[in-house]
Amino acid sequence: MKRLIVPALLLAGMAGLASGGLSAQARPQTQAPAPAPAPAPAAAAAAPANKAANGKRIAVQGEVSRSSFQNGPVGRIVRTEFAAHPATQDPTRLVTSANLTAWGKELSNWSKWGATDQKGTLNLITAQKTIEAAALVRDGRVATLASFLGTHKFKQAVDTWTDVPARWWPINFSAEGQVSANDAIAFGVHDGIVTHMTALCHYWGLRADPSRVPEYGPWGATGPNYAHQNSVFYNGYNFWVDENGCAALGIDRMGLAYTTRGVLYDMPLLKQVDWLDPTTPIFVEDLEEWERFANVKAGQGDVMIVRTGRYAQRAKEGPWYFDRGGAGLHASVVPWLKARNLAALAGDGLNDVQPSGVAGSPRPIHQMSIVILGMPLINNAYPEDAAKIAQELKRWEFQVSWKNFDIPNGSGSPWNAVAVF
């Protein structure tokens, strides 16, 4: 089947699209459909035999993970696979698809801000919240929270995904032949070295159970029409993406400029390590231990920023496939996130621990936050400079401000945020 090509800035990072003319209006439902009993997850495919890897191979919990091969615009890529951290399989912590289904009913924010809402938890950043955030500026110290192409000498196909290779090139001559100093860039919004906010159309679920990741793709055997008829976005909007982008819940419908309170959760500082090892899960008790240590707590309308030390490890050991093996929040944190009423959740990786350790749900923090809570995620945030200032001041709360790119029907936006202490 021919694959539809869409602008990189518009839909890179979303699932691929089928070819063909697609056009329909997304219509909201006022209530989430009652989830159907979750089917048993499909058996995992047999792992291919290990082959010599050109890229770095990382030992996790005493095991060297296998490598998979993927073809893309940058050629044949060897990708390292990681085993789920043993703690994610502890019976006292194990999260199953049945848990996600139950949470999908209990924790849903659908219709909380009206049947036609497209901003989700960003509604919690009120004028009063912004005024309160301004009062946190006391020292005049400013730090970027964003990473962008070239900032860390990105490595093609490791730091970046293979769907849209990142590129920068100088333009030294104008159309008239005059010498000039100019630049051009190309990148995917959901690229691995670009700090970005996900739009609420970036993830979707089954209509019968929105907590469930659809097991079909728009170009799969069942075809695009089946996918569109049986999938749903946050707040009951019909799932529909085509060559024009997202029919609903695009980044341009979520508000373009915000200022609120940011709260940093510095996990390596808490654990007295340089970084959390890849695949390390972060549990509720870790987050609450940090709150006692730092005497700070994220709450309603805040942006919670979780530092795992990804960039510190990368600076010392080089890039790795953090999308396959990265520290992050465990799925059991989802009810806690709901209770905190955050405006957004940011992490220096994917927010989800990878692998998730949840059968049938590779990124449950994404699935539950975006589709069920209507809470946008910020991936690849760069908290290193802010962490240094915060530790110096012994103050891990600050004003955070950003402006989203006005990408029509876009699945996300670069998040060029600054923290002001």
Q: At 16, is the pLDDT very low, low, confident or very high (cuts 50, 70, 90)?
A: very low
Q: Evaluate whether residue 1 is within a structural domain.
A: no
Q: Residue 268 in contact with residue 312, Cβ under 8 Å?
A: yes
Tell me how many domains the chain contains.
1
pLDDT value at residue 81? 84
Unique residue bearing structure tokens 């006391």: 138
Q: Evaluate whether residue 385 is within a structural domain.
A: yes
Question: Tokens in use for 313?
Answer: 């490890």
Q: Evaluate whether residue 335 is within a structural domain.
A: yes
pLDDT value at residue 21? 28
247-304 tens-digit pLDDT: 999 999 999 999 999 999 999 999 999 999 999 999 999 999 999 999 999 999 999 9
Higher pLDDT, 214 or 356: 356
- Please give the mean pLDDT across all residues of the chain: 82
- pLDDT > 90 fraction of the chain, expressed in percent and rounded: 64
pTM for the whole structure: 0.82
- pLDDT > 70 fraction of the chain, expressed in percent and rounded: 76
pLDDT value at residue 200? 98
Q: Evaluate whether residue 380 is within a structural domain.
A: yes
Q: Evaluate whether residue 142 is within a structural domain.
A: yes
Write the CATH number for 380: 3.50.30.50
Q: Evaluate whether residue 2 is within a structural domain.
A: no
The domain of 195 spans 8-420
**How would you class 323 by CB atoms within 10 Å of its CB: exposed for 0-12, middle for 13-18, buried for 19 or more?**
middle
Mean per-residue pLDDT, 78-91: 89
pLDDT value at residue 365? 98
Q: Evaluate whether residue 3 is within a structural domain.
A: no
Question: Tokens in use for 272?
Answer: 């007295």
220-249 tens-digit pLDDT: 445 566 667 889 999 999 999 888 999 999
Which residues partner with 347 through β-bridges?
Answer: 306
Q: Say yes or no to pLDDT of 22 above 70.
A: no
Q: What are phi and psi of 265, to 5 degrees?
A: -110, 100
Q: Say yes or no to pLDDT of 150 above 80.
A: no
Q: Say yes or no to pLDDT of 28 above 50.
A: no
Q: Say yes or no to pLDDT of 6 above 50.
A: no
Q: Say yes or no to pLDDT of 405 above 60.
A: yes
Mean per-residue pLDDT, 303-320: 95
Higher pLDDT, 20 or 340: 340
pLDDT value at residue 399? 98
Q: What is the dihedral of CA 376, 41, 277, 163, to 10 degrees?
A: -60
Q: At 312, is the pLDDT very low, low, confident or very high (cuts 50, 70, 90)?
A: very high
- The C-alpha atoms of residue 350 and residue 346 are separated, in whole angstroms, by 9
Q: At 90, is the pLDDT very low, low, confident or very high (cuts 50, 70, 90)?
A: very high
- The C-alpha atoms of residue 23 and residue 12 are separated, in whole angstroms, by 20
Q: How many CA atoms lie less than 13 Å away from 36 in the CB half-sphere?
A: 7
- The C-alpha atoms of residue 100 and residue 368 are separated, in whole angstroms, by 8
Cis peptide before 319 (omega within 30 of 0): no
103-149 tens-digit pLDDT: 999 999 999 999 999 999 999 999 999 999 999 999 999 999 999 87
Whole-angstrom CA distances from 184 to 13, 199, 261 are: 21, 25, 34
Q: Evaluate whether residue 266 is within a structural domain.
A: yes
Q: Say yes or no to pLDDT of 165 above 50.
A: yes
